[in-house]
């Protein structure tokens, strides 16, 4: 069917060709298409992604998380500039959790990376999740595929670091970086210990000025904590580095660690195995999402679900019995 942009209709073939050509306007329209919840747009989005599939998978996928105030945006802005100046094409996908209370976005727009946003070899796309982890799983993975097809060889996925989306993002990238600030080694600065356990590297940011000594102490604390954990990889042991995104200190070394991780896991076969596992996980996430969509499209199921939720909330019905009843109606 094709998307109907303001400037005229684009066929799926034209959109696929425009994405591969690196046309930023067409890429933005393609991302809007895959983000659409309309069923007719979703059919087109899947056809577009299938056509572009051979052009995906070549980028280095980097996930970055950290508590608000850790300086993620400043660091990504500077790291991205370093990379484009070295000849890379960088895409930043900022997962923007929608506030369940206000409906507004938490991260805001791409003006947080003002210098990188205007560079011709960079592309920044805030991606609201509408409050659902399913939004992270589907929209971010599909957007990642599109920017890879457009020729971006480094894809950075940023999360705000205040929810469960970090685990989801770690399962869709090659390297997961947790950014912290000096101090707070004992309480992990509000980040769950589980996030530390899935980190491929911890970066202590703002290691400048009077913070340098504190940053070094924090790095030692976190390195000690990491040493107590069993590494998830046979070829890589997570490490801790100190950086200053503001002063562009330590970012070259950080990137060197990321490249070393890529080389080691590629040589061992872990990177390929991880990508395959991620592809299957993507499929399972989509299956779960689509089963719920198809179920809710049936009025009788939607009605039963609403009644079951009321009964469960009131303590009149066991959740497992409620699920069995709904599944029986779905499969009838």
For the stretch 80-135, pLDDT in tens is: 999 999 999 999 998 865 544 444 444 444 557 889 999 999 999 987 655 555 44
Topology of domain 1-55, CATH: 1.20.5
Structural domain boundaries in the chain? 1-55, 56-268, 281-331
- DSSP state, residue 99: P
End-to-end CA distance of the chain: 33
pLDDT of 3: 42
pLDDT at position 104 is 42
Instruction: Report how far residue 29's alpha carbon sits from residue 23's, in angstroms, rounded to the nearest whole number.
Output: 10
The more confident residue out of 62 and 95 is: 62
pLDDT tens-digit profile of 304-328? Answer: 999 999 999 999 999 999 999 998 8
- CA nearest to 45, candidates 99, 14, 3, 105: 3
Q: What is the mean pLDDT of residues 148-155?
A: 98
- Res. 2: pLDDT tops 50: no
* The Cα angle at residue 89 between residues 277 and 129, in degrees rounded to 5: 55
pLDDT for position 136: 62
pLDDT value, residue 101 = 41
What is the number of residues in the chain? 332
Q: Within 10 Å of residue 324's Cβ, how many Cβ atoms?
A: 11
pTM: 0.85
CATH number of 56-268: 3.40.50.300
Reported as a single tens digit per residue, the pLDDT across 259-309 is 999 999 999 999 999 999 999 988 888 888 788 888 888 899 999 999 999
Task: Tell me if domain 1-55 and domain 56-268 are identical in fold.
Answer: no
Please, what is the average pLDDT of the chain? 85
State the pLDDT confidence band at 240, using cuts at 50, 70 and 90.
Answer: very high
Q: Do residues 292 and 298 make contact, with C-beta atoms less than 8 angstroms apart? A: no
Cα–Cα distance for residue pair 29/12, rounded to 1 Å: 11
């Amino acid at each position: 069917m094709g998307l109907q942009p303001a400037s005229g209709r684009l066929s799926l073939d034209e959109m696929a060709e425009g994405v591969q050509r690196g046309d930023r306007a067409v890429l933005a329209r393609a991302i809007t298409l895959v983000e659409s919840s309309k069923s007719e747009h979703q059919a087109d989005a899947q056809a577009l992604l299938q056509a572009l599939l051979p052009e995906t998978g070549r980028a280095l996928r980097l996930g970055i998380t950290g508590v608000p105030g850790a300086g993620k945006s400043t660091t990504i802005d500077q790291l991205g500039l370093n990379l484009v100046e070295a000849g890379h094409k960088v895409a930043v996908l900022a997962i923007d959790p929608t506030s369940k209370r206000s409906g507004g976005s938490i991260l805001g727009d791409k003006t947080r990376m003002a210098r990188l946003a205007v560079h011709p070899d960079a592309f920044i796309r805030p991606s609201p999740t509408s409050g659902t982890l399913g939004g992270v799983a589907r929209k971010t993975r599909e957007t990642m595929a599109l920017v890879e097809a457009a020729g971006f060889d480094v894809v950075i996925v940023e999360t705000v670091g205040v929810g469960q989306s970090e685990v989801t993002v770690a399962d869709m990238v090659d390297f997961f970086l947790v950014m912290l600030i000096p101090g707070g080694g004992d309480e992990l600065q509000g980040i769950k210990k589980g996030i530390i356990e899935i980190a491929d590297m911890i970066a202590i940011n703002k290691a400048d000025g009077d913070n340098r000594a504190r940053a070094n102490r924090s790095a030692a604390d976190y390195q000690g904590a990491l040493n107590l954990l069993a590494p998830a990889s046979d070829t890589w042991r997570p490490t801790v580095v100190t950086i200053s995104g503001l002063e562009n200190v330590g970012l070259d070394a950080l990137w060197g660690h990321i490249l070393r991780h890529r080389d080691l896991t590629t040589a061992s076969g872990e990177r390929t195995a991880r990508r395959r596992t991620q592809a299957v996980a993507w499929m399972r996430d989509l299956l779960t999402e689509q089963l719920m969509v198809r179920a809710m499209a049936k009025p009788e199921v939607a009605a039963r679900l609403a009644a079951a939720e009321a009964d469960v909330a009131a303590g009149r019905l066991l959740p497992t019995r409620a699920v069995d009843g709904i599944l029986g109606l779905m499969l009838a």
